[in-house]
Each structure stands twice: as C-alpha cells, then as structure tokens.
Chain A
C-alpha cells in the first residue's frame, strides 16, 4: 500500500527533523561563545532532560518546576522511547556517529539481531536508582546521558568552536570586520578534556559498531523507559502474513532488537526511529495500536534476569572506581622560588554560588557542565580531586583561572538539576561561598616593600582595604564578614598558586555575608575651584 509507505516516510522524516532541531539547539546552548542564547530558551529545553528534571523534582516536589520527566514518562506510555530518539542529546549524537559509520560501511547488512543484555541493564538501572535516591551524584555523573553529552559539548565541542571562532576572527579582523572577536580558551587544563575524550570515544565506538548498544546496555534512562515502552499504546508491530523475512528491517535496526526468527520485536530496546518501517518493502511492519491486516503474532521477548548479575555489578562498580586514579593528575609541585612562602591551605574547595553546601551540591550535581559552558568569566571549572570522589568532574570556583563576576547569576539560571539554585542579584551579593584569608608573609608589600594592592582594587565589597603600613606604603586589611568569596582578590594577587598572599577558604556550608556598611554620600569641601 502506497499510503502506508508515505506515512512511514513522513514519520521518519518527522523524527529526523525533530531530532536535528533539538541537537542544533542543544549544541548552540552549550557551545554558544557569545551568550546569544537567552536563559529562557536554555531552561525550556533542559526542562525535558530526564535525569536533571527528576533530580530537580526530588528537591522541590513540584511538577510545575520540574515536571519534564513526568511528561516524558506519559509520552513513553503512548509512543514508546521517542525520548531516546528525539530529545536525548547523547542518543541523537550516537545516531550521527552511526549514520557516518553506515555510509562508510561496505556491509550489506549492517545490523543483526542480538539478544538483550538484560542482566547488565537491570544492574545499571539499580545502581542509578540507588544513586539517585541516596544522592550519590558522582555515580549519576557517569550514567546520566544528558550529563555525558553535556561534557562532550563543553570539553570537546566548545573548545573546537572557540578555536574556529578565533581563526575566523583573526581573518575578519585583518579586513577590519569586528563582528567576531577572539575568545580565550574556556578550559585551561587538559585533564577534563582527556577524560571526556576517553568516555565519549568509548560511547562513540559502541555506536560506530553497534548503533544504540550503549542506550540498550548501560543507559539507565533507556532501560527505565524501555520497561515503560512495553506498555506503550503505539508500537512497531509485525504482520506475519505479509512478511517475507527479507531481513531488511533487521539490517537497519540500530537497536538490534528485531528478531525475524520468532517474529518478535524487543520493545524495551526499540527507540522508535522508524528506520525499519521505511525499509520494509512488504508493508509487514506498522507503527500502530494493533497489528494491521491479519491476525497478529506479537510475542514480546521475556526478560531474563540471570544469576550473573552480581558479577556484572562488581565489574560495573570497579569500572567506576577507576575515577580514583585520575586524581593523581592534579598534584601541584612548588616552584623553587617559593621556598620561604607559606602554602595556602583551604579547608574546602569553593562551590558555585547558590549550591547551598558542598554535601548537597555533590549529591545533586551530575556534572553536565552546562554552567561551565555558560560561565562568562570561566571561573567555573570541573573538579578533579578537589571535592574528593563525590564531586569528580563537578564544577568548582577556580580562582587560578578567573574570578566570579559580582553581578552575574548565570550558573544558577541555567542549572537543570537545581544543584546550583537560581539567585537574584541581591541574594548573590550576600552569598558567601568562602572567606578571605590574608597571608601577610607572602604579600609583596611586606616582602619587597613596594606598592601593590591588586587584591583590594578588584574586591567588589571592599572586604579587602588598603591601610597605612610604613614608608607611605599601604597594606591589605581584610574584613571576612563582608567577603563573599568571589576570588577577585585571589586571582589578581601577583604570587603563584598555592602561595598567594590572599585567598578564599571555601565554606562547607555557604553563609550569608554582611552587607558592606552603607556609607554616606561623599561630599568634598573645596575652598577654591582650582587648588593650584
């Protein structure tokens, strides 16, 4: 029937266009070098990211604020795992990779039916469920597809975009066009890039060879929505009468879930991409509530939970623990010239403004790195060892790279999990992430007896003031009560990290800073107009 074919083609076309649209918008959101994308657009797209939305819901218990995941579940009850095909950025990215693989491939039949990895799937889903409830953000970080894709965008794609921007800017500047301008590298250290490269490379390899293997083996969102999919109203269904077992559907199924031998489709793995519908020359497949035409044979595969799951669990747990090894990368050695100086000791790293406490933040943050991408000063950088394993790859305030803009509230505005709560500008002005510590013995005014004061220059609340010292020199004096811990003193201090003369000691629990005392309006009494 021609009508069916046209309908199937338009279904696939719709799926493809929607996915492409979402991919373009999400890429733009993460890679945007000029803050072109408004926060409202960012928030409305991230509303539908399953895990961030669920985590946010657990905090607020409000479907209005974080109901995206609920809508996804409802949609899945109707159409199956459409989420995995058109909303999940990691899923769409894998489709891109696999599309290229199939273009390049000489194989006549790219995919073959494979048995479901049920044990592994249940294992990962259980780990994720426990981690989500118990607040083990560091596990969620490695299983949530949104966060995995977010890190790919932030640590690989964005630097590439910036590089391209800078090349283009260099060329355009030569011919006096200033619409683009040079951008500094958003990620100054290599470790996060390498880690992301390895993880993305692994997932990319899976999809190059086996399509949606990651989604149907490891991804807990895929497994969960797969269970829901079994009860979906609309499914891809076989009409056994019409099927000639040509195998074209199976060869095009990137989920490898069409079993021609038994005329079954594993709907828990099907991501409703409609590729099979379009490839079937005999109209034996349909996306419908019931089988079209003659009587049906819909034998759904029965999940087998086998006894090897414990072993799989151990393997999975060990894989995750390898994160530990990476911490060794961040050990800093003191330069020889700093021997006499006092090393800065921070009780805690500095967590982003609005994260409330490090413990809370580590529980909720999935390390999707959208805030790292969105931060206009690049002060947000992924942590390696700073938070310990609990916060591996979660953002922290890196005052070696930059400092936090006093008036900026962007990280909280974009955070999809509510790990960083949105602050108003007034709240931000008194959110104390840490407290200033002055180390007089390291200060150049003390050691060299020359002018400096870079710290006090930058301080937005004047928690660092310059007071008379000797020989007409001024030396810093700190008032930690009005300090918000933004790092505007630590960053410009001319000494090297970790021997700064002034630094921010992070809070375990963020505090409310005192407001700088409202000084009366200055008035100058001048006897004459020109005192010279």
Chain B
C-alpha cells in the first residue's frame, strides 16, 4: 500500500514538474494525509491552482481510473474571446484533459450545447483548439440527434430531459464552469453549467428555471466540479458586454459536492448562497450542502 502511494505521489510530482509555472507546486500532498471535501485556491495561474486543488482532493487518480471514458464539460456558451470571461479558461480545460489522460483515461470528450452559434463559440473561446491539442475529442452539441431522452428520477419540474449521449456514455463526469454573474440566476456556476448537457433549455425557462436546474442533479451529478475563477465576469453576465466587466480574481474552487462548491464560489462572488434560488432548492432537496461549516475545506494561498 505504501509503495503504491509513494509511486502515486512521485508520479504527481513528476507531472507537476512538467507544467510551466510550477514553482508553487513543490508541496505535493504527502502520502497518507487526510483529504479534503472542498479546496479553494487563490493567487496562482489557472493550471497551477488546479494542480494544488486536485492533489488536496487525492489526486486525479482518485477520480479517473485506467481506460475510463471521461467527459470534461466547460462553459463554451458564448462567441467571445477568453479575456471576456464568458467561457471557461481554455488553458485550464487543456490542463485538466492532460491530467485525465496521464491518469490513463481511455478517452476524454469535450462539448457544450452553446447559446451563440456553436462554431464561433468553440473557435473564439479557443477551447476547441486547446482541447484538441491536449488530446481530447471535441464534439459538437448543436443537433438534437446527439441527445437521448432520459427520466429525471427525483425531478419536480423536470421529469424527462434529452441528454447528450457523450455524457450518457461516460464513466467520469468533470464539470468545469467559469465564475460568472448571471442576469436571471444571479450567478452561473457548476449547477447552472449543466444546462449545457441538455437539448431543450427553453423547457427550463418555461417551467421554473431554478427548480429544473436542481432537478437535473437527481439524474446525474458531476464526479468533480472545478470552478474557474481565474477571471471572473462580475456583471452583465452571462455574456458580458466588454472586458471592463471582468475581474482578475485568480481563484479556483474544486470539490465533489456540487452544492458546496457553488456555495463557496457564490461567497467569493460576493453573494450569499441562500440568495441563489437553485442552490437553496438543491440544498433543501438534499443534493448537497450549502452550509460550509460542515465541510472540510482546504484554503490555499499561492504566490
């Protein structure tokens, strides 16, 4: 057992040393140390913050096993360049993909059901290019034929939904939203990002948006949520009007409990979790906790 942990640790150290800007990464979690439920990192580059966070959570190997199919779901909703913070940081997405592949993932797929025309979103967010180079399969989400109808077991408003088959076929689901203001739900984080895996978003809007967002979790919650707060869209979300809406927050929050992760990110945004309807509903439905006092949190300040 100890030998395995040792090898794991040294592999991670080796992987980390291959990453540029790795000067903050020397402190890899020593083998055997207790792992946290939630990690919040401040002050580093997006990739470096991810490395710190994932090692606190037990390493990527705790999530991805050899030969597994992985879906990495960033927010690619808008036809805008990375500096506008409308879409997830492409460098972070690429880095997560590489980590999964290094852990032995059989395949990593990346997609989003975009709001703007998808070709422009995939291209101008730079996620398509970065993800391809990192070795992922970048697949479109623009056609209904890619989606299969599923039952939402605990859904109150959302009883059935058409879900992208890449997700239905996946063993591991890694959710990588960006930290943004949102005109209708105040913030858009991990839970709201899951609207990009279903076909009919209009149904959500027509039938109690916040309830539908929470309902989806009863079908499939991500195995790992990583909120990209390197750049934060502080207002005019989710699309943003100009770069003056963007704050360089240099933050990253990661964890298994989607409600807890979103609650921490909401606090980072400057709001209370109780103010966000879908977080409150999900908490009340027992899909996770917004009470961060019950969560073991690792807080890491880099730089």
Residues of A within 8 A of B (CB): 35, 173, 176, 178, 181-182, 184, 376-377, 402, 405-408, 444, 448, 450-454, 456-462, 465-466, 472, 474, 492, 494-495, 516, 518-524, 526, 529-532
Contacts and interface: CB of A to CB of B under 8 A. Distances in A.
A221 B158 CA distance: 60
A396 to B, nearest CB: 19
A531 B264 CA distance: 8
Given A462-B241, A524-B234, A494 B120 contact: no
Question: Would you call the interface of chain B mostly helix, strand, loop, or mixed?
Answer: mixed
A524 B244 contact: no
B241 A461 contact: yes
A532 B292 contact: yes
A492 B120 contact: no
B142 interface: yes
Contact of B117 (A376, A451, A474, A522): A376
Given A176-B137, A454-B205, 4 more contacts: A182-B142, A457-B182, A474-B186, A530-B299
Contact of A377 (B117, B145, B207, B232): B117
Nearest to A473: B277
Given A457-B115, A522-B235, A450 B143 contact: no
A465 to B, nearest CB: 7
Given A405-B116, A530-B42, A452 B137 contact: no
B267 A454 contact: no
Contacts of B145: 182
A532 B208 contact: no
Contacts of B184: 451-454, 456-457, 466, 474
Contacts of B43: 529
B68 interface: no
Contact of A519 (B137, B140, B244, B267): B244
A116 B180 CA distance: 71
B183 A465 contact: yes
Contacts of A173: 139
A454 B185 contact: no
Contact of A178 (B137, B146, B186, B201): B137
Given A405-B120, A530-B42, A521 B244 contact: yes
B142 A184 contact: yes
B236 A178 contact: no
Contacts of A182: 140, 142-143, 145-146
Nearest to B248: A524
B209 A451 contact: yes
Nearest to B116: A405
A198 B40 CA distance: 65
A462 B236 contact: yes
B209 to A, nearest CB: 4
B143 A376 contact: no
A376 B120 CA distance: 9
A-B CB proximity, top 4 nearest = A453-B184, A456-B183, A494-B206, A450-B208
A146 to B, nearest CB: 28
B202 interface: yes
B142 A451 contact: no
B83 interface: no
Given A450-B208, A453-B184, A531-B268, A522 B142 contact: no
A454 B117 CA distance: 16
Interface in B120-148: 120, 137-140, 142-143, 145-146
Given A453-B185, A454-B205, A529-B42, A405 B79 contact: yes
Contact of A494 (B117, B205, B249, B301): B205
B116 to A, nearest CB: 6
A452 B209 contact: yes
Contacts of B182: 453, 457
